[in-house]
A and B are shown apart, each in its own frame.
Chain A
């Protein structure tokens, strides 16, 4: 119940295309869903995050779509650029006193072909 399942494991997208990464969870107590971006040799950095009171959050070319009933959330990267090539991690947190317990997906290696 504590797992976050992320897919695909790797993804190749043409420049200008839409990159879509999906995550699914089981624990209905999760109430915070961040996405992190990691470049090789660097630590992950927060990209965008959503709480379940909204179904979508957009920041520039990055959008999180959230489906509470299906217990799924996804990251969409519009107009994908070579600079977006990185590993992306979804995560979920139960919040409250356990808000340090981020449960991580396994990661998706995204390659944008020029």
Chain B
């Protein structure tokens, strides 16, 4: 069966510090990968998606970036965090030809 991992589960960072969130998927190959952000009490905002290694599409221009160094690894980064980067970050995967997205447990990021 497939599983998706995210870490860390929670993170408190000062403004201006760097960020690296990691997502890995097990039990499948060549998945589509996604990064979402969810503000408190709000819906899901798609940040990045990837259909393959090194292929990243950005949905929202901002100070975040994503990379996919391996088939089942997706990394969300920032060089300098802003207060507005606080939120619940979710990684998801889907099979290339199917529509269902499966979400990880999320990372709660607080920027102070």
Contacts and interface: CB of A to CB of B under 8 A. Distances in A.
Are both chains from one complex? yes
Interface in A81-103: 89, 93, 95, 99-100, 102
B112 to A, nearest CB: 20
A100 B105 contact: no
Contact of B99 (A32, A42, A45, A107): A32
A102 B59 CA distance: 12
B35 interface: no
Contacts of B46: 102, 104
**Interface size grouping (class) on chain B:** 20 to 34
A46 B42 contact: no
A105 B43 contact: yes
Given A43-B90, A45-B103, A99 B97 contact: yes
A18 interface: no
B56 to A, nearest CB: 13
A102 B42 contact: no
Contacts of A106: 42-43
B32 interface: yes
Contact of A107 (B42, B49, B51): B42
Contacts of B84: none
B65 interface: no
Interface of A: 32, 34, 41-46, 49, 89, 93, 95, 99-100, 102, 104-107, 109
26 contacts: A32-B99, A34-B99, A41-B106, A42-B106, A43-B90, A43-B103, A43-B104, A43-B105, A44-B44, A44-B90, A44-B103, A45-B103, A46-B100, A46-B101, A46-B102, A93-B99, A99-B98, A100-B51, A100-B94, A102-B99, A102-B101, A104-B43, A104-B46, A106-B43, A107-B42, A107-B43
